[in-house]
Structures are given as C-alpha cells and as structure tokens.
Amino acid sequence: MINAGRAALVLLMLFCSGVGFAVARRAVHSQRKVARAQSFSMMALSAAVWMLLVGVNLLIANPALKEIVWWLIPFAILNTLMGLFFFSMEFSFRLKRVPRGILFSTIVITLVITLLAATNSLHHQFWTVVFIDGEYVQKMGPFFAYQLIYTYLLTLGSLVMLVRAFWLSSGVVRRQTLLLLVGILIPVLTSVAVDAFGWNPVPVLDLPALSIVVPVVLFSRATLQFNTFYLLPVASDLIIKNMLDGVLATDVDGYIIFSNPAVQAILGKTEAQLSGCTLDSVLEDWQPEALHAWKAGKESTQLTVGEEDPLFYHLSISKIAVDSSEPVGFLLKLNNNTEQKTYEKRLNDLAICDPLTGSYNRRYFYEMAHTYFNQMERSGRPLSLLMLDLDHFKNINDSYGHLKGDLVLQKVAALCRVMVRTQDIFSRYGGEEFILAMPETSLQNALAVAERLRRGIELLRYELDGITVTASIGVVETTGEADLTLDMLLSRVDEAMYASKHAGRNRVSTWKE
C-alpha cells in the first residue's frame, strides 16, 4: 500500500501526463493541416509518456518492473528533447522540415542511448540498483552522464535558437517566442538545480519531469492559441503552395530549400528533385537566359520559353534579409504572363498590320523604311525597294466577287511573306499594291527576289481554282545619292512598277532616269 503523500504525487504526475496527452492530441490534429506541428506533437506526446512513466515508477515496487520503466524513461526524455529541438529549429528558421543530416544524427544518438539503457543488466554502466529506506532506487553510472550531457546539448541548442527567433521577431511573433522561452527556461533551471546543486525538496519526485508540463502548456498557448501552426506556416503551406506563380527559395549559397507546386510544374521537376540542388543547375537545364539573369543579379527579367507556341514568364529575384542585414537567401518568383504578352502582341499587330492580309500596314512600312534609309546613308550599303501591283485585279472582283478578291490578296501576301527574309519589310501599300524594303540588298539580288515572287504569284492559279493572277513589279536600288530622299525613292519604284504595266504586265522592271 502506498501512503497518502505518495498517492498525491502519483495523481499529480498522472494529471500532468493527462495535460500532455491532451495537448499532444490537439497538436496531432493540427499536423494534418501543417507539417510543422509534427515536432511539437512529438514533444508533447513524449513528455506525457515521460510523466506517466514517472507516476508508474512511484506506484510499483518490483525491481524487475522498475528496471523496465527506468530504461523507458530515458527514451521518453530524449524524444521529448528531440521534439523540442526540432520544433525550435523549425520555428526559428521557418523550416518546413528538419534537415535530414540533423534528423538522422539525433535519431541515431537517441537509439544508441536507449539501447545502452535497455541493456543495462549486461553492463550496469547506466545505473545500478540499490535498496535505500525500504525502496529500490537507481544509482547513476557513467553512461547516464553521457545521456545527461546530450540532453543538455539538445536543450541548450533549443534555447539558443529560440533566443535568436526572439531577437529577430516583432509583434505577435515576439510575444509567441517569449512564451516559448519562458516555457523552456523553467525545466532548464529546474534540471540545473537538481543535477548541479542537488536541490530536490521531494526526493521521490522527478522534478525535471514535473517541470516539463510547464513548457508543454506554454508551448500549447504560444502555438495553438496564437496560431503559430496556422498563422505562420499557412503562408507557405497554403497561400504559397496554391499560388499560380512559381516560387523558389534558396539559401545564401544558391541551394534550393523550398519550391511550390507551380514552379515544379513550370520546371518539370518534383519537390524531391529540386530540394538541395543548386539553382544554377536547375536554371541551366530549364532556360539559360534565366541562369544569366540569376548570375547577373538582375531583379527583373522577361523570359520566352519555346519557339512554337512560346510561353512567357516574368522572373523576379529578391534577397531574403532580416532588418536590412546581409541576405540569408534568395526568393525567385516566376509569373506566367503569356496571356498578357499575347494580348500585347495582338494589340501591336493591330497597330502595325493590315487586318485582311496579315502583312505590315503602310504606316509601319514608312517607319521601318525611314530606319533602313538612314542606315543606308550612314553605312553606304545598298537599300532596294520592290513594288508589285496585281494585274487586272478589278476584273477578278467583278468576275468572281469580292470574297474571292480578298482570298487572292491573302494568298499573294502569304506567299510573299514566306519568300522574303526576316529583316525585309513586306507591306500592303494600298488596294492591290504591295511594297517590300530590302536592307543591304543590291539591285541584282533584288531583281532575283522580284522574279521569284512574280513566278510564285503566277502559279497561284492552281490554288485559286483557275483564277489567273499575275503581278507587275518594279525594283529600285540606292547606295546613297546626294539630295535623295525616301519619298523620291518611293516615287522611283512606283515608276518602275508602272513601266512593267506599260510593257505588257506580268514582268519585272527597274527604274531608269
């Protein structure tokens, strides 16, 4: 039978354990929504088990059963402090998960210490059993000292990270962090008092285990009531994850530490394939222009991806810094603005293109022709103009109707566009007249182009159900004459085109003085 005092202590430990289980249950429910709650639920659950085991230890008298409880207690202690350490790291550095190396190392050390405790009966280096005042108690051995050092290292690391978080935070986050610091300091001070100074007013009670309920409750208030699990991680776990824009975060050395589903779809890689990779390698595989922008430190760049049906992305790069200090990482955002760019292109096409034929309009031709004319005057390289007029086009409209006439114009324009160079400006000049500006093209080469166009137009009758289509073409060249203007050059090519008309049509003529 246990006395009333011991029974009260057992009830106290069981009550504290119940509090721990209640908090753990709430945290486990939270982790379904937010991954960061896992480490907190691990700490709360392990602390609850720790306090439960301490209560059970007070109840039982059998030495064999006590030894089982004694080796389970270190496992619960280490899991509690691991959960605290992981939570502090995630909270302080805003990590989605603990780095694998740290996770693996702490788990291995915990398992080794637990194994040493479980096999104590073989080596008796963790504790020895002594009978004092009618009760079996532990006398700690050298291996326990290793566990004690490790537990203090985990606790100290947690404390340092929370101090860092407090220093860098403000507002509600600072109030949250203050509660976390108070919560961790109470068991730390209690453990130091017991382990270093031998202070223990209730020898049969595990004061460090009892004090752990304080951080569990305060952590619960700081996280669940202040919504740390929801307020802070939701930005990445919900808002950022559901953003249409692609988001990548890297550390200061350019290693990717976060990617949202949108950027994974854009880059064609999974989260696992991106995490830990260098941004250089990822961008080089996807779009070298993006890599150049990253290396050049550009804050904003417009990218075109693909040739057929291209996609357009706006890349923005910003530093991640705290209080304007040195950057701790970089944030990249990829905004798919294909729809906007397509709309802008459509507006631009409407401004510079002829709506019927899709060729450049007369206004745009004048703009580009002036540019080419000025280049010709500076460089002395030849500039050639070609003007063509469809022969007897009125007869086509009268005989076949205006719809057929429009089709003829479209076919002629499409044929000419594919037969000229990219830098040449082919425009509908008016009615059935078209004009072509060819920079850095001699008269001989321009005549060859004109002859190819004439023959191609003549052969269009096979695509137009036998409608005969021919063109009279004029060609002129200049390398820069004194007092020559663009309007004079246009007048000359018009005269050359009419020379072809007068000579019988369906031919090419050059301008002659």
Domain chopping of the chain, boundaries: 4-230, 241-343, 353-510
Task: Provide mean pLDDT across the span 221-244.
Answer: 52
Mean pLDDT of 448-476: 93
230: pLDDT strictly greater than 50: no
**Alpha carbon distance 426, 1 (integer Å):** 106
**pLDDT for residue 109 is more than 70:** yes
Give Cβ neighbours of residue 260 (< 8 Å, ≥ 6 apart). Answer: 236, 240, 241, 243, 246, 247
pLDDT, mean of residues 309-320: 85
Homologous superfamily, domain 353-510: Reverse transcriptase/Diguanylate cyclase domain (3.30.70.270)
* The domain defined by 241-343 carries CATH number 3.30.450.20: yes
pLDDT score at 23: 75
**pLDDT band at residue 235, thresholds of 50, 70 and 90?**
very low
Please check whether residue 408 is in contact with residue 437, taking contact to mean a CB–CB distance below 8 angstroms: no
Q: Please compute the mean of the pLDDT values over residues 85-105 and round it to a whole number.
A: 80
Confidence label for 65 from pLDDT (cuts 50, 70 and 90): confident
Global pTM value? 0.46
Catalytic residue annotation: 432
Q: Please return the burial class of 389, using the count of CB atoms within 10 Å of its CB with bins 0-12, 13-18 and 19+.
A: buried
What pLDDT does residue 1 have? 42
pLDDT category, 34, cuts 50, 70, 90? Answer: very low
Give yes or no for residue 227 having a pLDDT over 50. no
Residue 131 is predicted with a pLDDT of: 67
Q: How many Cβ atoms sit within 10 Å of the Cβ of residue 121?
A: 11
Question: Who wins on pLDDT, 242 or 487?
Answer: 487
How large is the average pLDDT for residues 47-55?
84
Gap between the Cα atoms of 49 and 73, Å rounded: 8
pLDDT at position 232 over 50:
no
CA–CA dist 351, 478 (Å, integer): 29
Confidence of residue 226 (pLDDT cuts 50, 70, 90): very low
Asked whether the predicted pLDDT for residue 201 surpasses 80, the reply is no
Domains 4-230 and 241-343 share a fold: no
Q: What is the DSSP letter of 428?
A: E
Q: Residue 218 pLDDT > 80, yes or no?
A: no
| Sheet of strand 300-305, all strands in order from the earlier edge strand to the far edge | 256-259, 246-251, 329-336, 311-320, 300-305
CA nearest neighbour of 135 among 61, 186, 193: 61
* Average pLDDT of the residues of the chain: 82
**Interval 110-158: pLDDT, tens:** 999 989 988 988 888 887 877 666 666 677 888 888 888 998 899 899 8
Q: Taking 80 as the threshold, does the pLDDT of residue 324 lie above it?
A: no
Per-residue pLDDT, 233: 44
What is Dmax (Cα atoms) for the chain?
Answer: 132
Q: What is the pLDDT of residue 35?
A: 45
CATH number of 4-230: 1.20.1070.10
pLDDT higher for 486 or 345? Answer: 486
